Structure 1
Amino acid sequence: MAIEIEAKIKVSDHDATRARLRAIGGEHLSDVLETNTFFDTPDQKLRNADNGLRLRKINNLHGPRGQNSGQTTHEVTFKGPKLPGTFKQREELQSTIEDGDAVAAILERLGYSVALSFEKKRQSWQVQNCRVELDEVPRLGKYVEIEGPDEKSVESVRAALELESAALISMGYSSMLMDTLKGARPTDRVIRF
């Protein structure tokens, strides 16, 4: 069972964090535009159990030195309920898939429907043994996510980025967006830049 351990912090912009990443030897990995589509049952069985079922399309805008530009990949992810801890922790099962449209059709045939779809701009960095994501989500703003193998590693990178006093956000982007969309029509649950 893979456990995701991450710190999420809201920021006004990414400039200071990007400068700190460079100063501490961070490696810039990629810039992507994601489309994250969450599926659920009509009675929101997954959301009510604090689970998530996500289909993600990743358009690679460019990697270091232009590598992988224009490449598109797809992932399907199950996220379990949040676990106790200083940082956001939850089970995460994820697999790269060949055909995102086919998987979406399979999920719909199984009784799931699209609960929310949103775009996210993401710049990925590697620092020590942690992944640092500089994210921008429409309607929500800009965030820094630090994901690592354990709380100590995440806290170490958080301190190196001078974000140790910033408030931690425990909610995922999908939950934050769903809270802003209460009562919205299904067509309003598609959020793009």
Structure 2
Amino acid sequence: MIEAELKARVHAPEETLRQLDALGNGRAEVYRDTYYDTPDGALEARDEELRVRTVHGADDTRTVLTYKGARVDEASGSKPEHETRVEDAEAVHAMLRSLGYVPAIAFEKRCRNYDFKARGRQMLATLVRVPELDGTFLELETIAEEEGLAAALDDVRAVLAELGISDGDLTRELYTDAVRARRAG
């Protein structure tokens, strides 16, 4: 499955939040992400990602292990994604380190998530603040088969437009790259 996702900088976060609240109840969550790679950076060189994410919500804390393959759509950066929930975050971190992976970068995202249906698809909108970065971002995604990716991305773009997000607001910059650049000075 492909995560058909677009990310945008939000210039009027309060207005975007109001529009998302009209779609349904949002849930506030804090993501603690650790990205792993080989010591020589082979995953990043192949445009792949290996991540452990612990999500702290109002009612629970959960951890997911995610592998993302190389981009299948350059314009959006959409990637195949495989994800599974894990019971013991510390055990997963220990296993990855024991297998030779090293933490490449870790950071926090403060999110408000909205699950809703639009254009016949289940969508997830996430309003994001990364404390180390300036600004607010909106991620909008749906899941698609590779042959349906273009149509899925068209639907995501249409919903973004309904939320007042233009193509000029879209960004392909990765949080990992932006946080690295900020930390480098």
TM-score range, shorter chain: 0.7 to 0.9
Q: Residue 181 of structure 1: CA displacement?
A: 4.2
Distance (Å, rounded) in 1 between the aligned partners of 2:87 and 2:157: 35
Report the counterpart of residue 148 of structure 2 in structure 1.
Answer: none
Gaps (5+ residues) in structure 2?
144-151
Q: Residue 102 of structure 1: CA displacement?
A: 0.1
Distance (Å, rounded) in 1 between the aligned partners of 2:74 and 2:104: 28
Correspondent of 2:36 among 17, 39, 50: 39
Correspondent of 1:99 among 84, 88, 96: 88
One-letter identity of the residue aligned with 1:11: V
Gaps (5+ residues) in structure 1?
63-67, 185-193
Summarize the Cα distance change of 1:53–1:134 in structure 2 as closer, same or farther, 3 Å threshold: same
Task: Write the deviation string for residues 34-85 of structure 1: whole angstroms up to 9, x where unpaired.
Answer: 100011111111111111100001110x3xxxxx2xx110000001112225
Q: Does 1:148 align with 2:142?
A: yes
Report the counterpart of residue 77 of structure 1 in structure 2.
Answer: 66
Is the contact between residue 48 and residue 67 of structure 2 (CA under 8 Å) also seen in structure 1? yes
One-letter identity of the residue aligned with 2:179: L
Distance (Å, rounded) in 1 between the aligned partners of 2:180 and 2:18: 32
**Could you say what the CA RMSD is over the residues aligned between the two structures, in angstroms?**
1.8
Is the contact between residue 115 and residue 123 of structure 2 (CA under 8 Å) also seen in structure 1? yes
Name the % identity: 27
Distance (Å, rounded) in 1 between the aligned partners of 2:74 and 2:153: 8
Correspondent of 1:172 among 171, 174, 182: 174
Report the counterpart of residue 110 of structure 1 in structure 2.
Answer: 99
Is the contact between residue 130 and residue 157 of structure 1 (CA under 8 Å) also seen in structure 2? no
48-57 vs 126-135, which deviates more? Answer: 126-135
Q: Residue 167 of structure 1: CA displacement?
A: 2.6
SS in 1 for 2:156: helix
Distance (Å, rounded) in 2 between the aligned partners of 1:165 and 1:135: 18
Distance (Å, rounded) in 1 between the aligned partners of 2:95 and 2:6: 33
SS in 1 for 2:69: strand
> How many residues were matched structurally?
172
Distance (Å, rounded) in 2 between the aligned partners of 1:21 and 1:143: 13
One-letter identity of the residue aligned with 1:48: A
Summarize the Cα distance change of 1:4–1:152 in structure 2 as closer, same or farther, 3 Å threshold: same
Is the contact between residue 133 and residue 182 of structure 2 (CA under 8 Å) also seen in structure 1? no
One-letter identity of the residue aligned with 1:140: L
Q: TM-score, normalised by structure 1?
A: 0.82
Task: Write the deviation string for residues 103-138 of structure 1: whole angstroms up to 9, x where unpaired.
Answer: 000000000111111011010012323111000012
Is the contact between residue 130 and residue 153 of structure 1 (CA under 8 Å) also seen in structure 2? no
Q: TM-score, normalised by structure 2?
A: 0.85
Superposed counterparts of 1:122-161, under 5 Å: 122-127=111-116, 128=118, 129-141=122-134, 142-149=136-143, 150-161=152-163
Is the contact between residue 55 and residue 74 of structure 1 (CA under 8 Å) also seen in structure 2? yes
Report the counterpart of residue 149 of structure 2 in structure 1.
Answer: none
Is the contact between residue 135 and residue 144 of structure 1 (CA under 8 Å) also seen in structure 2? yes
Is the contact between residue 8 and residue 169 of structure 1 (CA under 8 Å) also seen in structure 2? yes
